[in-house]
Amino acid sequence: MNRIEHSALAQAGELPAPTLLPSSWVGFRTLLYKEVLRFWKVAFQTIAAPVLTGVLYLLVFGHVLDQRVEAFAGVRYSAFLVPGLVMMSLLQNAFANSSSSLIQSKIMGNLVFVLLPPLSHLEFFAAYALSSVLRGVVVGLGVFAVTAIIAPTPLNAPVWILAFGLLGAAMLGVLGIIAGILSDKFDQLAAFQNFLIIPATFLSGVFYSVHSLTPFWQTLSRLNPFFYMIDGFRYGFFAQSDVSPWQSLAVVTAALLVTAGIAIRMLASGYKLRG
C-alpha cells in the first residue's frame, strides 16, 4: 500500500490516522543518537583518556609552579589552573568529536547513508554540533571532578561557567564540522588541529594570566577568541578575570555566530560532501 492509498483510507476512517513524530524531529534525534553512541561506546578513549591528560597537566605544572606563581591575588596557582584545564579539555574534545566523525565517514564511504535520508542541512548541523557539546561537557565535568579534589576551586558564578562552557563547546563543535568538511584525509585534519586548535588553546591563558605578558603579547592574546572563552569561564570560579566577562561573552557569541554561519552555508551547498 503506497502513502496516498494509506492517507485516503485513514481519511475514510478505515485506518487510524498516523501519529508518528514529524520526520524532521525523528531524523535529527536519530542522527544525534548515532553520534552520541559513537563516542560513548569507546568512552575509555574519548572520555577517560582526556580526563587523565588534564590531571597529569595539573600534577606536573601545579607541583612545579604552585609556590612560585600567583596569577590572581589570593588564588593558588594549582587552583587557577583547574578552570583552564577543564575548558581546554572541553574545547579540544568538542572539536575532535565532530571533525573525527565526518572524516571517518568520508574515508570509510558511509557518509552517503547520512546524506541520503531527507535531513535538512540545519538538522545535520544541529545533530553534529549538539553531540560535540555533549562530549565536551562530559569530558570537562570529568576533568573538573578529579582536579577539584587535588586543588579545591570555588564556584562564585555558576551561570557564567555554564554559559562559557556551552558556548565554547558549541563553537569548537562547529569548527570541527568545518574542518571535517574541508579535510579529505586524516593528515589534513591533523594539520588543522595541530596548527590551529592546539596553539590557540595553549596560547589563550590556560596556564597563565595575560597580565603577566609583555604589551605585545597581551595585544596578540586579545585577538584570540579562545582567550575570551577561558577568561570568561575562569571568571565564574574566582570572580576575577583579565577582561570583563561581558566583553568575553560578546566576543565568544559573535565568533560562534560567524563560524555557525560558515558551517551551515557549507552544508547547505553540499561543499565537499556531495560528489
Average pLDDT over residues 52-71: 84
Kindly report which listed range (81-85, 116-120, 200-204) carries the lowest average pLDDT score.
116-120
Burial class (CB in 10 A: 0-12, 13-18, 19+), 219: exposed
Domain ranges of the chain: 22-269
Whole-angstrom CA distances from 233 to 13, 95, 161, 180, 251 are 58, 18, 5, 27, 13
Does this model's pTM top 0.85? My answer is yes
Nearest to 87 by CA among 254, 199, 231, 251: 231
Average pLDDT over residues 45-59: 94
What are residue 75's phi and psi, to 5 degrees?
Answer: -115, 125
Half-sphere exposure of 119 (CA within 13 A, CB side): 25
Cα 140–chain centre separation: 10
Question: What type of residue is 115?
Answer: L
* Beta carbons of 192 and 100 less than 8 angstroms apart: no
Kindly report which listed range (80-84, 188-192, 209-213) carries the lowest average pLDDT score.
209-213
pLDDT one-digit tens code per residue, 133-165? 999 999 999 999 999 898 999 999 999 999 999
Alpha-carbon gap, residue 155 to 173, rounded angstroms: 26
What is the grid cell recorded at 128? Answer: 553534529
Position 19 scores a pLDDT of: 42
